[in-house]
Structure 1
């Protein structure tokens, strides 16, 4: 009996989160983690590199992450410039690693954002003085792009583990259905609203804006650390007043100081618009996920655009 128990416990033996008898997948951000778990099911052990409550733009990998990723079969990262550390990270993996890196945003029509990566701008075409282009990496914030990402995750799992292809296909079909339903909700509920302009704390909603005919004005750039310049804030204050904007959106993983300042200066209120880059510890405990957060986003957008 004891020998039998030892064999049983040895089956799923873990080393730093790696499970020996499963497909081990390292993911970089929460939405990729969630979609991979949904499609992978019991066949897959998914480890997300970013802990709860951490903003992805601020994060860098640790040595244990290199060790784990070297032992994994798949490394799923967003790409589109989100994980600036990825090229060096992949070079640093063990020489005999068999891990396959997959850029999950591949196939999404990327938005090239004029302006900055660090020094504030207005809307997508804003900051006339600066003409350096940066790719907007926040692909998953639109259900339309999330559908492409889910398909890439499915393909990578089928390729690495063809024996369980049927199961991956089945679970992917269920996820696809949920994402299509979410896409339909966004399309139908946002299409008839009187307003289209949203003012957000950081420029994370470009894909959402493009796919559902909204116009995004951001206080900060593509990176939430990008400090806005005084003239950008003056311009934004003017926009809020001219367009009759009633709410300024802020997000949980980024300081709400600037959003609240702008709101009080313009006499409007604040609401949350979540770029679903990660869960806070509280959201994790509540059992929130991509879908609950995106549905809350839709409610808040509907309220703000009346």
Structure 2
């Protein structure tokens, strides 16, 4: 019991040294003769580039290596977005700043703000101690998750889980929304956008089938992750997600949360604890060390690291890597 209290103190202490990413917005440069699109984070940037091709100029607000939960827009971002034709944002409460952002746009701006998660059955947000995968998730209709725009920062607790893009099934819906936005803004290139969307759609459908077929064959169904970013993945592919922290990666776990997870490791014979690349791995690695298990990366794809960007990684390659890591942990 004494040993248990000692490492519990270490684990809780590790929370206070979680690193916070920072950085300036990526350069936003408007190009004449193209549809100028600003995206709020990486997955939407990827989809807009893939579907828009040569006819679009896509600019991401958040630089490589920066965790979206740690980022808020500045006045210069408002000025830049005001000049674009489209702004793609996730919605479902992910961008807690979006309400004020809309109100701050130039009155003369013709930019259309598109909510990419529209049409996805959303999952009710839960606190870390309540998370046990799809058993605690509740589907919502389209409108139920779209009343959170005035939330401060990225505090999602008690609202809805915004991390839809981590599931290929949801990514298919998001890509459809991006395609529609492009066609609405540039109908003369409708056939071009539809063809490129079909190519991306087919890749996402293939990815969805790979996840479904592979995970169905695994003997284990429980994973421990850094924060509650994989609820849609869990729901769509029959996995139970258990998070150290809440929906936001900077949420603090309670003592009973950590005790529950260490007990779960033993009961479910879990061999790996997942951590993320854009937030500190201190807590996950400390928990893994005490539980005598190993760690693996499970990427929530909220952004690319500079190394991933240089290596040419993208949404598809990282999701394929996630699948391989999941299969390793679930065998």
Taking structure 1 as the reference length, the TM-score comes to 0.90
State the SS of the aligned residue for 1:202. coil
The partner residue of 1:123 within 132, 143, 150 is: 132
Contact 1:115–1:134 (Cα < 8 Å) also in 2: no
Partners of 1:141 and 1:74 in 2: CA distance: 23
Which residue of structure 2 lines up, in the alignment, with residue 154 of structure 1?
A: 179
Tell me whether 1:219 sits opposite 2:244 in the alignment. yes
Tell me whether 1:172 sits opposite 2:197 in the alignment. yes
Contact 1:76–1:102 (Cα < 8 Å) also in 2: yes
The count of aligned residue pairs is 284
* 1:260-279 deviation per Cα after TM superposition (whole angstroms, max 9, x unaligned): 01101111000000001100
Partners of 2:212 and 2:130 in 1: CA distance: 27
State the SS of the aligned residue for 2:109. coil
State the SS of the aligned residue for 1:64. helix
**Change in CA separation of 1:237 and 1:173 when aligned onto 2, cut-off 3 Å:** same
Partners of 1:114 and 1:76 in 2: CA distance: 26
Structure of higher CA gyration radius: 1
Q: How does 1:204-215 map to 2 (within 5 A)?
A: 204-215=229-240
Tell me whether 1:247 sits opposite 2:256 in the alignment. no
What's the CA shift for 1:114? Answer: 2.5
State the SS of the aligned residue for 1:254. coil
State the SS of the aligned residue for 2:87. strand
Partners of 1:220 and 1:108 in 2: CA distance: 24
Which residue of structure 2 lines up, in the alignment, with residue 5 of structure 1?
A: none
Contact 1:122–1:218 (Cα < 8 Å) also in 2: yes
Which residue of structure 2 lines up, in the alignment, with residue 66 of structure 1?
A: 78
State the SS of the aligned residue for 1:249. strand
Which ranges in structure 2 are unaligned for 5 or more consecutive residues? 1-26, 137-156
Partners of 1:16 and 1:48 in 2: CA distance: 8
Partners of 2:88 and 2:173 in 1: CA distance: 14
Taking structure 2 as the reference length, the TM-score comes to 0.84
What's the CA shift for 1:237? Answer: 0.6
Q: How does 1:1-306 map to 2 (within 5 A)?
A: 16-115=28-127, 122-124=131-133, 133-306=158-331
Question: What's the C-alpha RMSD, in Å, of the aligned pairs?
Answer: 1.3
Which ranges in structure 1 are unaligned for 5 or more consecutive residues? 1-14, 127-131
